[in-house]
Amino acid sequence: MTMQRSVVLGCGSYLPSRVLTNQELARAVETSDEWIVQRTGIHERRVAAAGELTSDMALHAARAALANAKIDAQSIDLIVLATSTPDQTFPASAVSVQAGLGITHGAAFDLQAVCSGFVFGLATTDGLLRTGAFKRALVIGSETFSRILDWSDRTTCVLFGDGAGAVVLEAQEQPGTREDRGVLTVHLRSDGRHKNKLYVDGGPSSTQTVGHLRMEGREVFKHAVSMITDVVVDAFKATGYTANDIDWFVPHQANKRIIDASAHKLGIAPEKIVTTVDRHGNTSAASIPLALSDAVADRRIKRGNLVLLEAMGGGFTWGAALVRW
Ligand code: ACO
């Protein structure tokens, strides 16, 4: 029986021009290029320019995705922006993107699931498209983590960066088999018992300040691989696919050691892993669409490929999706 699927029409990304290298960071805090590369695989990250907002970067990424999809902004009727670093407490940064694209119809809102934001945004959008309420959507991840970092804390400031990525999805009728194009399955999880292991120590209702990112890095690392592999196994079970069937593994780009350990545990061949964390650090909700855009631009990911996405982050939240390109 045929069914509605959310099919990817295109993707795009944006990185601010300012590159911050490990060597520069080592002049500001007690760290070294060698330590950062060995523990995380990160060589450099980007930092948004003064006055450059999360919505500005999201708009750049959205325009790049629309160009890649070869569609007009006016055909978009839903914008879901995943971010933990919105321009303001409200309105949602998504409405600034909507206005920037000159769209006055449909709906736009933000979604907050920290580093898992893009996978949560994909699941939300897929659900809304499949109801028939919307036809074409932009799912965007955009973050300015440079604004919530404590730049004197070497245990966190070396890990994160700024950037944005976007994907255009369209509701299309597909045959209703696992060979369909589009989002085949998405699995989301949260466990608030871990909420104090990775958090920001400020907010409108608690301190009336923006706050800074705080993290128990070792604790996050300890849970990351098992949470990621569990939820990916759920995605495999739901579709009957295995690690051997996937063409590309596009994980949240937090840390090369977490990525490699997860791929190893899942039995995913190293040559199928798309890694960009070396060039932009952990960009939270932006990292998956940044990596996707990279692999689409250099023609690794092609139409018909089976792509596995996963993420894990603050909350903890975590999730995985299988998408046929
Ligand atoms: N440079 C030099 N030394 C450092 C630095 C630094 N930037 N940061 C910490 N250290 C020191 C520590 O103080 C400690 O010193 P001590 O032994 O004298 O106490 C030593 O290095 C080892 O510290 P650990 O925290 O045990 O180092 P670890 O090997 O666990 O690596 C890291 C730290 C990279 C943060 C790791 O725990 C990690 O990757 N955790 C996951 C964090 C993450 O990716 N978070 C992103 C958000 S969640 C997500 O997206 C999945």
Q: Give yes or no: residues 159 and 306 share one domain.
A: no
**What is the residue with the minimal CA distance to atom 27 of ligand 1?**
218
**Does residue 156 have its Cβ closer than 6 Å to ligand 1?**
no
Burial of 260 (0-12, 13-18, 19+ CB in 10 A): middle
Q: Give yes or no: residues 30 and 113 share one domain.
A: yes
Enumerate the β-bridge partners of residue 55.
Answer: none
User: Which of 153, 174, 195 is a domain's end point?
Assistant: 174
pLDDT of residue 88: 98
User: Which of 174, 197, 214 is a domain's end point?
Assistant: 174
Residue 191's CATH number: 3.40.47.10
Give me the catalytic one of 11, 22, 60, 115: 115
Q: Give yes or no: residues 10 and 66 share one domain.
A: yes
Does the annotation count 11 as an active-site position? Answer: no
pLDDT of residue 14: 98
**Does residue 158 have its Cβ closer than 6 Å to ligand 1?**
yes
pLDDT in tens, 194-232: 999 999 999 999 999 999 999 999 999 999 999 999 999
In this prediction, what percent of the chain has a pLDDT beyond 90? 100
pLDDT of residue 108: 99
Q: Give yes or no: residues 112 and 211 share one domain.
A: no
Kindly give the distance from the C-alpha atom of residue 35 to the centroid of ligand 1, in angstroms, as a whole number. Answer: 9
Q: Give yes or no: residues 275 and 128 share one domain.
A: no
Q: Give yes or no: residues 91 and 13 share one domain.
A: yes
- Total-model pTM: 0.97
Domain range for 8: 3-174
Kindly give the parts of the chain with pLDDT less than 70: none
Kindly give the distance from the C-alpha atom of residue 257 to the centroid of ligand 1, in angstroms, as a whole number. Answer: 12
Q: Give yes or no: residues 240 and 308 share one domain.
A: yes
Does the annotation count 252 as an active-site position? Answer: yes
pLDDT of residue 269: 98
pLDDT of residue 159: 98
CA distance 313 to 115: 5
Of 36, 39, 148, 258, the residue with max ligand 1 atoms within 8 A of its CB, to mutate for a pocket test, comes to 39
Give me the catalytic one of 60, 194, 252, 280: 252
Does the annotation count 244 as an active-site position? Answer: no
**Does residue 181 have its Cβ closer than 6 Å to ligand 1?**
no
**Does residue 154 have its Cβ closer than 6 Å to ligand 1?**
yes
**Does residue 220 have its Cβ closer than 6 Å to ligand 1?**
yes
**Does residue 155 have its Cβ closer than 6 Å to ligand 1?**
yes
Q: Give yes or no: residues 232 and 158 share one domain.
A: no
**Does residue 255 have its Cβ closer than 6 Å to ligand 1?**
yes
Kindly give the distance from the C-alpha atom of residue 14 to the centroid of ligand 1, in angstroms, as a whole number. Answer: 28
Cβ-proximal residues to 204 (8 Å cutoff; 6+ apart), any chain: 89
Of 119, 221, 252, 278, the residue with max ligand 1 atoms within 8 A of its CB, to mutate for a pocket test, comes to 221
User: Which of 111, 145, 174 is a domain's end point?
Assistant: 174
Kindly give the distance from the C-alpha atom of residue 39 to the centroid of ligand 1, in angstroms, as a whole number. Answer: 7
Cβ-proximal residues to 260 (8 Å cutoff; 6+ apart), any chain: 270, 273
Kindly give the distance from the C-alpha atom of residue 214 to the centroid of ligand 1, in angstroms, as a whole number. Answer: 12
pLDDT of residue 275: 98
pLDDT of residue 104: 98
Q: Give yes or no: residues 188 and 155 share one domain.
A: no
Q: Give yes or no: residues 48 and 119 share one domain.
A: yes
pLDDT of residue 46: 98
pLDDT of residue 276: 98
Q: What is the 3-state secondary structure (H, E, C) of the chain?
A: CCEEEEEEEEEEEECCCEEEEHHHHHHHCCCCHHHHHHHHCCCEEEECCCCCCHHHHHHHHHHHHHHHHCCCHHHCCEEEEECCCCCCCCCCHHHHHHHHCCCCCCEEEEECCHHHHHHHHHHHHHHHHHHCCCCEEEEEEEEEHHHCCCCCCHHHHCCECEEEEEEEEEEEEECCCCCCCEEEEEEEEECHHHCCCEEECCECCCCCECCCEEECHHHHHHHHHHHHHHHHHHHHHHHCCCHHHCCEEEECCCCHHHHHHHHHHHCCCHHHECCCHHHHCECHHHHHHHHHHHHHHCCCCCCCCEEEEEEEECCCEEEEEEEEC
Which atom of ligand 1 is closest in space to residue 31's alpha carbon? 1
